[in-house]
Chains A and B, each alone.
Chain A
Amino acid sequence: MFGLIGHSTNLEEARNKARLLGYEEYARGDLDMWCSAPPQLVERITVTSPTGKQIEGAYIDSVFVPEMLGRFKTARRKVLNAMELAQKSGLDITALGGFTSIIFENFNLLQQQHIRNTTLDWQLFSTGNTHTAWVICRQVETIAPSIGIDLAKASVAVVGATGDIGSAVCSWLSQRTGVAELLLVARQQAPLEALQLQLGGGRILPLEEALTQADVVVWVASLPQTLSIDRESLHRPCLMVDGGYPKNLDSKVASDGIHVIKGGIVEFGSDIGWQMMAVAEMTNPQRQMFACFAEAMLLDFEDHHTNFSWGRNNISLERMEWIGAASVRHGFQPLGLEESQARLVNV
């Protein structure tokens, strides 16, 4: 059985979702009430692969909302309590969605293995980052040529290059895709230099310079609200893959010749029939989901119940290939240009 730990994009959306699902008291609750609320196993889900294999899983809402990010203890508690609920619910492999895995890593929750009378078993959890990295790379490989970018001649900037997903994307694009040039952008110089050494190439650049030189920009860092991008200085055509969380690139850059797609999203071949995702921020929520969630499903389909993506910078190209093959086999497609643009029209 697979598990998905998710959360709403903000308190207002959380309250609307609660109302829709029949949790009226939660719908009326303020932030303090949500801070005290326990995690909820809100839905059981059945998914059938084109191979005929059927798996069952559960969606757990951690009752976390990004408004809690400033409350360190609350955010930590939400993540750990949701993980405990997943473990106690007998889920074999659970993906940490949205901010959950970010909080887990940044707050160093590996040190918090004991929660009440439960010892968390890390083998039961995955960040889903291997699948996310693979999906982002496939999106670059398939969409860039379709809008007239020849990757063999292209410069690809990876913003957030030294992160878990970013470094995996850099390795794949340089070793498997064979892009002409990688532009490495991140906050800290020392990890950037280590990455450059490991890749045997790539140019380290500040963000502004990288943006003026790139044909493709992969964003795997969340964008600060204050970030402003000078559209006129960008290449045309230019492909922007918004692979961070939350996804908010469209409003900053979308215009003629600049194609923005949602990175790290997959579409399943048939409707899943879940309620939770029906209120998520997807164009076709019955089929589309974060690739990290899909990773838990894939690991369950493959009976590979282990923390496939865990820790930082452990993603190998072989693992990306393995999860990619499973993704194709079980009917998942990386989100294409059309699906992303359909969303732009809707917004």
Chain B
Amino acid sequence: MPILEPNSSAAVASRVDGEELPDFTTAQYKDAYSRINAIVIEGEQEAHDNYISIGTLIPDQAEELARLARMEMKHLKGFTACAANLGVEADMDFAREFFTPLRENFQQALAEGKVVTCLLIQALLIEAFAISAYHIYIPVSDPFARKITESVVQDEYTHLNYGQEWLKAHLHECREELQEANRANLPHVRRMLDRVAADAAALGMAKEDLIEDFLIAYQESLTQIGFSSKEIARLAAAALVG
């Protein structure tokens, strides 16, 4: 008698859902956490600095950008507390080096007065990267970090939205620069994801989830800005094919 699955494939088995939390006290967890946490702290610091810098390129927005920057400093303090709570020291040297390619590209664009490139790097790529990482982290985080991360992720949407709205309003004059900046920077994001994949996995975060969530946030922004589905698929492909 063949086994019949009512209205389904035999390959789809019923599963009971439930994320398993990692053991936050192991040396392996803390070791991975020291780098991931450092990346988050460094990311928040650079975000702060970047928003202040972008304010020098668009002075009429400086006040709003300073407000966004202040939020990032608040996040930085929250995540520093998360490390302290677990008794972990963040590996800041690793994190500074980790951000080097994006930081250099940002600084170069800043020096050339390229506000579109600066916004793409900070307000779209880094924010989408942060949003995806925080969303994936929340279900597997320790209770202390969970509370902090949940409040932070809402703020990051505000930041993503800021960049999105500015670029949307200026799309007619910045389409090409956006495409070029995407080409130059998205592969860095992919490499950054690859580099942290093992540490993220130790924290219970799968690389596959991180990439898809990042692309969902990034694609959504590009849609809002005014790109077509096909243009976006092409723009985002650099994150998929490495």
From the candidates B2, B7, B11, B229, name the one contacting A41 in the complex (CB within 8 A). B229
From the candidates A36, A41, A208, name the one contacting B211 in the complex (CB within 8 A). A36
> How many residues on B have C-beta within 8 angstroms of the other chain's C-beta atoms?
41
One of B50-58, B80-88, B104-112, B215-223 at the interface: B215-223
Q: How many Å from the CB of B159 to the closest CB on chain A?
A: 14
Q: Tell me whether A222 and B8 are in contact in the complex, defined as CB-CB below 8 angstroms, given that A42-B229, A74-B208, A106-B15 are known contacts.
A: yes
Query: Is A33 within 8 A of B240, CB to CB?
Result: yes
From the candidates B3, B15, B237, name the one contacting A25 in the complex (CB within 8 A). B237
Interface status of A88 (Cβ within 8 A of chain B) = yes
Query: Is A221 within 8 A of B7, CB to CB?
Result: yes
Query: Is A222 within 8 A of B208, CB to CB?
Result: no
Q: What residues on B are CB-neighbors of A25 within 8 Å? A: 233-234, 237, 240-241
Query: Is B2 within 8 A of A226, CB to CB?
Result: yes
Interface status of A160 (Cβ within 8 A of chain B) = yes
Bound Cα distance from A164 to B153, whole angstroms: 39
Q: How many Å from the CB of A321 to the closest CB on chain B?
A: 22
Interface status of A285 (Cβ within 8 A of chain B) = no
Query: Is B3 within 8 A of A224, CB to CB?
Result: yes
Query: A163: nearest residue on chain B (CB-CB)?
Result: B6
Interface status of A176 (Cβ within 8 A of chain B) = no
Q: What residues on B are CB-neighbors of A28 within 8 Å? A: 241
Query: A228: nearest residue on chain B (CB-CB)?
Result: B2
Q: How many Å from the CB of A279 to the closest CB on chain B?
A: 16
> How many residues on A have C-beta within 8 angstroms of the other chain's C-beta atoms?
66
Bound Cα distance from A76 to B11, whole angstroms: 14
Query: Is B241 within 8 A of A33, CB to CB?
Result: yes
- Could you count the A-B residue pairs with CB atoms below 8 Å apart for me: how many are there? 140
Query: Is B6 within 8 A of A38, CB to CB?
Result: no
Interface status of A69 (Cβ within 8 A of chain B) = yes
Query: Is B2 within 8 A of A207, CB to CB?
Result: yes
Query: A89: nearest residue on chain B (CB-CB)?
Result: B223
Bound Cα distance from A159 to B154, whole angstroms: 49
Query: A111: nearest residue on chain B (CB-CB)?
Result: B17
Q: How many Å from the CB of B129 to the closest CB on chain A?
A: 14
B 186-209 to A, binary, CB cutoff 8 A, 1 in contact else 0: 000000000000000000001111
B 212-242 to A, binary, CB cutoff 8 A, 1 in contact else 0: 1101100110000000011001101100110
Interface status of A52 (Cβ within 8 A of chain B) = no
Interface status of A148 (Cβ within 8 A of chain B) = no
Bound Cα distance from A55 to B4, whole angstroms: 38
Interface status of B27 (Cβ within 8 A of chain A) = no
From the candidates B3, B16, B209, name the one contacting A187 in the complex (CB within 8 A). B3
Beta-carbon contacts under 8 Å, A20-51 to B: 21-26, 28-29, 32-33, 35-42
A-B contact pairs, 9 of them (CB 8 A): A25-B240, A29-B241, A36-B240, A40-B233, A99-B12, A106-B12, A106-B13, A111-B17, A166-B6
Query: Which residues of A does B touch, CB under 8 Å?
Result: 21-26, 28-29, 32-33, 35-42, 66, 69-70, 72-77, 81, 84-85, 88, 99, 102-103, 105-108, 111-112, 116-117, 159-160, 162-166, 185-187, 206-208, 220-227, 244-246
List 8 additional A-B contacts (Cβ < 8 Å) besides A36-B207, A39-B216: A33-B240, A74-B208, A102-B9, A106-B15, A117-B154, A160-B6, A222-B10, A245-B9
The 4 closest A-B pairs by CB, nearest first: A25-B237, A163-B6, A36-B211, A163-B7
